[in-house]
Structure 1
Amino acid sequence: MTEYAQTPETAGSIPLVTRERAAVSLLFFLNGLVIGAWVTKIPFFASALALSEFALGIMIFVFGVGSLVMMPLAGAQIARHGSNRVVQATTILFIPTVIGVSIVESVWLGAVAIFLFGGLTGAMDVAMNANAVVAERHVRRSIMSSCHAFWSLGGLVGSATGGYLIANLGVLSHSLLVAGVCLVLFLAARPMIIKDPPQESEKHQKLQLPRSPLPWLIGLIALFSMVPEGSVLDWSALYLGNELGASTTISGFAFAAFSLTMAILRFAGDFVRDRLGAVKTLRWCSVAAFVGLIIAGQAPNVTVAIIGFAIAGIGISNMVPIAFSAGGNIPGLAPGIGLSVVTSLGYSGILFAPSLIGFVAEYVSLSTVYTVISLPILFVFMMAGLARHADRAVSH
């Protein structure tokens, strides 16, 4: 098999938008919408439970633990029952959790609620990515990057409207509205979700970690791709404000520039991958991410730093979708199992790395941090050949 996913002739015979693609895109948007809404709820969650910053940090850690616990469980269920059934089940269970984190009145109930919220976020994430892999195979074109773009779009809508709606409706009413919208989106997507009954050999797979190093190596690609994303999300504003002298307004432009280029390139990423192949695309993306982080970390002023973060967003945009496609197409391994490893490792980067950076930043500058976190991107560049498995989704 070559690096090229499909020929122009093949691509031209397939509709750009299909029912299966629309369904999984709606699921990604739904998940992102809830997470975006949650971001605006965090201060109210902390206030309702009288949490200190340290205690809130512990709660957010519990969210991450929930995700990492339930991702492998979802992967095993996908191997046994197919992604169609599991994505429906996890979505139905996930939607009410946004209400759960809004009504808790004690710290212990809050911990349970946020564990379930994080766990079902992760479980749905594995299931919808597995379904996207199946849809890629069916439509014979890359769609993973655009799916992640819809997740980013959902997050943008959820976070942009959350503050206004909470201020005018209240925390609980906002949660009920979000849950209602998500239920409508799910009901619209449900009849179109592609069905993928598992093979007999997969139905009886035991819940165990894969022995092959391949999913773990691809998982490291996802990990090293998502660490910078988490670091830009949580620390870029502080970096611009404290070390480069940016105003409060300007300091938010780093993440804005990063998010803007990432979202745009995610919508364009499938087109690029179908023509260059996943390997070349990942290599070019890793180069852009590395250069962007170096520029941001060594920037002499705010403008250069923002440009650096924008370039990093261009690179990082399609590194994770390619890693997820590759993880779901490992030969001899059920898509759900491979994806559970890749997503668990990848999301551990975005969930836990920012906390580690906070500890390290006590001793070194954030300028140094951004320079250093560019180095693992070199691993992604060197292991880009593993992205060839992503092209299996759209090859004959």
Structure 2
Amino acid sequence: MSRNRLAISLLFMMNGFFTGSWAPKIPEFAERLNLSEGELGLMILVFGLGSIIAMPATGIFLARFGAARVVKTAAMLFLPMLLVISVVPNIPLAVVALFCFGGLMAAMDVSMNGNTVSVEKSERRAIMSSCHAFWSLGGLFGAGIGGFLIAELGILGHAFTVTVIAAVMLAVSFPKLLQDPPSDEAAAQKIRLPMTPLPWLIGIMALFSMIPEGAVMDWSALYLTGERGVDIAWAGFGFAAFQLTMTTMRFAGDHVRDRFGAVKTLRFCAAMSVTGLLLAGLAPSTVLIIIGFAITGIGISNMIPVAFSAAGNLPGIAPGISLSVTTTLGYSGILVAPSAIGFLAEHTGFSPIFAGLAGLHIIVFLMAPLAHYADQDHAG
């Protein structure tokens, strides 16, 4: 692994590790601030709003200053946020802290993806999928050790330990990071939202790719227990199977894309996901439903990495601007759409929803020719 690739992979892992470390803190956070379930839901929505607002702004900074400078700044500002969240004493300060936490996470995300596109161009090979796999690994690690650290060290001890681990990742990564310059397109034109349809179409492709991902993350356990009568001990197996196959296939995704091209890779992924979602929604047995979620993970694994690489390689558009459009639209599928899915499920149940979400990936399959932009700067 080259030094540039190692550096950006560590940043993805750090971001995922920090995000995953937030999950086991939520119960104590809610108890400390005496939040009801509804109030906690609004707090999590604040986190999502911070993310969505920060993404377009980050694209402008990327175009003007280059991804390396932006990601370093965002990462350093992100580093103390778990400590801040661990000590906020009241709801108004908690709202500010969560908004900043979500915004800085998103700023890091957009700039990491921008630097990954630059590394792909430099090395003339795909690395986006494996970078996203490192994010997933970091998230699993953060969530996995969080409960143990909180039990052994307390809330502040957990936050301090996580912050130190993350700081070590940054210290190793920063000197090896590819120093990509500001975009040539940014110097030649006024930076604004793109008027051409391509980045918006790829953003829609990312949105349709991520809505089912958010649905599986947030609703698969409730679907299994509430509608399929699965014991609570098995409730997490649907998402676990999905996460396992998605992470595994992301490590393989770069090799697949280099071998077969982005268009064929995206079509295969979309077809697999359609199959998995239909099985998860319509299968009569628990085992088949879990298998369906596992197949869905295989499918979704490389859809977003391909979309992000394509967005970062669009001709005549600053990569940071097109990436910010794609990430904003795409991540809204995880941050916003699941709430609407939950409301709809009250009237229809989750079974037809999971089956119906397959339709979004049929559209992605039809939009796959747009993915050829992902190949243009690292073919061969």
Q: TM-score range with shorter-chain normalisation? A: over 0.9
What percent identity do the matched residue pairs reach? 54
Q: Which residue number corresponds to residue 77 of structure 2?
A: 93
Query: How far apart are the structure 1 equivalents of 2:355 and 2:333?
Result: 17
Q: Aligned to 1:383, what secondary structure does the other structure show?
A: helix
Query: How far apart are the structure 1 equivalents of 2:103 and 2:256?
Result: 33
Q: Which residue number corresponds to residue 50 of structure 2?
A: 66
What does 1:73-88 align with in structure 2 at a 5 Å threshold? 73-88=57-72
1:386 aligns with 2:367: no
Q: Which residue number corresponds to residue 114 of structure 1?
A: 98
- Give CA-to-partner distance per residue, 1:237-271, whole Å, 9 cap, x none: 11111111111111111001101110110000000
Q: With the length of structure 2 as denominator, give the TM-score of the two structures.
A: 0.98
Query: How far apart are the structure 2 equivalents of 1:283 and 1:201?
Result: 31
Query: How far apart are the structure 2 equivalents of 1:353 and 1:247?
Result: 27
Q: Aligned to 1:159, what secondary structure does the other structure show?
A: helix
Q: Aligned to 1:151, what secondary structure does the other structure show?
A: helix
Instruction: Return structure 1 stretches of 4+ with deviation > 3 angstroms.
Output: 203-207
1:143 aligns with 2:119: no
Give the deviation of 1:203 after TM superposition: 4.0
Query: How far apart are the structure 2 equivalents of 1:111 and 1:60?
Result: 9
Q: Which residue number corresponds to residue 9 of structure 1?
A: none
Query: How far apart are the structure 2 equivalents of 1:29 and 1:35?
Result: 10
**Farther-moved stretch of structure 1 (176-185 vs 114-123):** 176-185
1:339 aligns with 2:323: yes
Q: Which residue number corresponds to residue 21 of structure 2?
A: 37
Query: How far apart are the structure 2 equivalents of 1:343 and 1:116?
Result: 18
1:306 aligns with 2:290: yes
Aligned pair in 2 of structure 1 residues 206, 92: CA closer, same or farther (>3 Å)?
Answer: farther
Q: Aligned to 2:314, what secondary structure does the other structure show?
A: coil
Retained in 2: the 8 A contact 1:223–1:347? Answer: yes
Retained in 1: the 8 A contact 2:20–2:140? Answer: yes
Q: Aligned to 2:377, what secondary structure does the other structure show?
A: helix
Query: How far apart are the structure 2 equivalents of 1:230 and 1:127?
Result: 22
Give the deviation of 1:199 after TM superposition: 4.2
Q: Which residue number corresponds to residue 282 of structure 1?
A: 266
Q: Which residue number corresponds to residue 3 of structure 1?
A: none
- Give CA-to-partner distance per residue, 1:42-97, whole Å, 9 cap, x none: 11111111111111111111111101111111110110011110110111011111
1:370 aligns with 2:324: no
Q: Which residue number corresponds to residue 31 of structure 2?
A: 47
1:217 aligns with 2:201: yes
1:296 aligns with 2:273: no
Q: Which residue number corresponds to residue 226 of structure 2?
A: 242
- Give CA-to-partner distance per residue, 1:127-172, whole Å, 9 cap, x none: 0000000001111111000000000000000000000001111111
Q: Which residue number corresponds to residue 20 of structure 1?
A: 4
Instruction: Give the alignment partner of residue 168 of structure 2, picking from 180, 184, 188.
Output: 184
- Give CA-to-partner distance per residue, 1:11-34, whole Å, 9 cap, x none: xxxxxx100100000000000000
Q: Which residue number corresponds to residue 5 of structure 1?
A: none
Give the deviation of 1:393 after TM superposition: 3.4
| Letter in structure 2 aligned against 1:274 | D
Give the deviation of 1:314 after TM superposition: 0.4
Query: How far apart are the structure 1 equivalents of 2:29 and 2:56?
Result: 28
Query: How far apart are the structure 2 equivalents of 1:207 and 1:35?
Result: 30
Query: How far apart are the structure 1 equivalents of 2:184 and 2:2?
Result: 28
Retained in 2: the 8 A contact 1:76–1:205? Answer: no
Retained in 2: the 8 A contact 1:81–1:203? Answer: no
Q: Aligned to 1:362, what secondary structure does the other structure show?
A: helix
Retained in 2: the 8 A contact 1:73–1:207? Answer: no
Instruction: Give the alignment partner of residue 215 of structure 2, picking from 228, 231, 238.
Output: 231
Q: With the length of structure 1 as denominator, give the TM-score of the two structures.
A: 0.94
| Letter in structure 2 aligned against 1:155 | G
Query: How far apart are the structure 1 equivalents of 2:184 and 2:206?
Result: 30
| Letter in structure 2 aligned against 1:63 | F
Query: How far apart are the structure 2 equivalents of 1:111 and 1:289?
Result: 36
Give the deviation of 1:201 after TM superposition: 4.4
Aligned CA RMSD, in angstroms, stands at 1.1
Query: How far apart are the structure 2 equivalents of 1:232 and 1:52?
Result: 24
Instruction: Give the alignment partner of residue 177 of structure 2, picking from 172, 193, 202.
Output: 193
Query: How far apart are the structure 2 equivalents of 1:102 and 1:203?
Result: 42
